[in-house]
Amino acid sequence: MSEKTENVNIREIARQAGVSVASVSRALQDSPSKKISAELRTKILQICDEQQYYPNMHTVRMLKNRSNTIALLAPPECIHVESEYDYIDYNLAGVIGGVEKFLSGHSMYVTIASMTENFIANKEYLKFSRGKMVDGFIAWGLTSRDEFIYELIAEGAPLVAVQGGFGKITGSQVNAQDYEGMGRIVEYVVSQGHRRIAYIPALETSFSGVERNRGFADAMSQAGLAPFMVTEETGFNPDVGYAAATRIFREKLKPTCIVAANDYVALGVIKAAGEFHLRIPEDISLTGADGLMLPAQFQLTTYLSPSFQLGVAGAEMLCRIIDNPAMPPENTRLPVRFVPGMTVARI
């Protein structure tokens, strides 16, 4: 075992191994080079380990014109939660896990950036791109308000939207089949005898929101029904569900089932029902969407969104774009799974 040299560099490694600097560089490649033998590579790597040497990654990235890092952009309200419910957006967490799982198998990394007002006003996204800090972007939950994204597209930055879409142009995206999922929810509720069905809609500014609202409306129409009511409260968080349900219960409007835009909205409905001493599903039936594990003693009737798989598919698609910038946009939709749950009574 050799004694560690102070301030060791690649030339010192080459000297100790009795090889050229180029041979050391080849030995340190992620994929073994055919230009050096396995035995020589093992010898060089052993010396590097003894000397605690690894090449300066800033230099490597500059030479390769790659950072081996991608940025995942997410709405600030999904990262900085300011609510009495203290909930975590498990859809985003699942996507992050899927992205990291794929990238880790390809010696790449992910950095997470919140699309705050300052982030957009200071054009931090352009600094990421122009400064070669990242090789591409995954934008989660894009809405029609996120017009800054078109600047990145105009720059030619590799970009994939996950659970979101582009309003003005066509771009690569990976989404869940929210339209089909919400349609399946309505079919099930109707099959259980419900006709007085209230709907707490999703935000129309979001792609998944548009799809969920459209799926609900079309499924109701196909069943020959009109909604008992569509609330003025709209969104994806528990406060929306709580406000909508409180108004319904206070005014004694008496739908037999409330279909919520997602499970978080349903969580707010559950809180309001408790305050009015209403039992679910005995007094009021309830459904959600996304298939999240809620802090309740019953399984919500919902559909499971494949968040982890969305992250994997998005990262894989982005890597293909990075390697082939001229490839045409792709549009992938992953299936959801209906979860019958225990919150819809048969009437």
| CATH number for the domain running over 69-176+307-336 | 3.40.50.2300
Answer whether 185's CB lies under 8 Å from 289's CB: yes
Domain 178-304 superfamily per CATH = Response regulator (3.40.50.2300)
pLDDT (0 to 100) of residue 30: 66
**pLDDT value, residue 73:** 95
Terminal CA-CA length for the chain: 79
User: HEC states along 90-147?
Assistant: HHHHHHHHHHHHHHHCCCCEEEEEECCHHHHHCCHHHHHHHCCCCCEEEEECCECCCC
Q: Which residue has the tokens 């408790």?
A: 274
Distance from C-alpha of 308 to C-alpha of 328, rounded to nearest angstrom: 25
The pLDDT, as a whole number, for residue 4 is: 61
Q: 10-55 — its CATH code?
A: 1.10.260
Output the pLDDT for position 192: 98
Two domains, one topology: 10-55 and 69-176+307-336? no
pLDDT score of 144: 79
Domain positions in the chain are: 10-55, 69-176+307-336, 178-304
Helix (H, G, I), strand (E, B) or coil at 273: helix
Query: From CA 275, how far away is CA 251, in angstroms rounded?
Result: 14
Mean pLDDT in each 10-residue stretch from start to end of the chain (347 residues)?
A: 67 90 81 83 88 66 70 83 62 94 91 92 92 92 87 92 82 95 98 98 92 98 98 94 97 96 95 96 97 75 96 97 92 96 96
pLDDT at 56: 62
**pLDDT value at residue 163:** 93
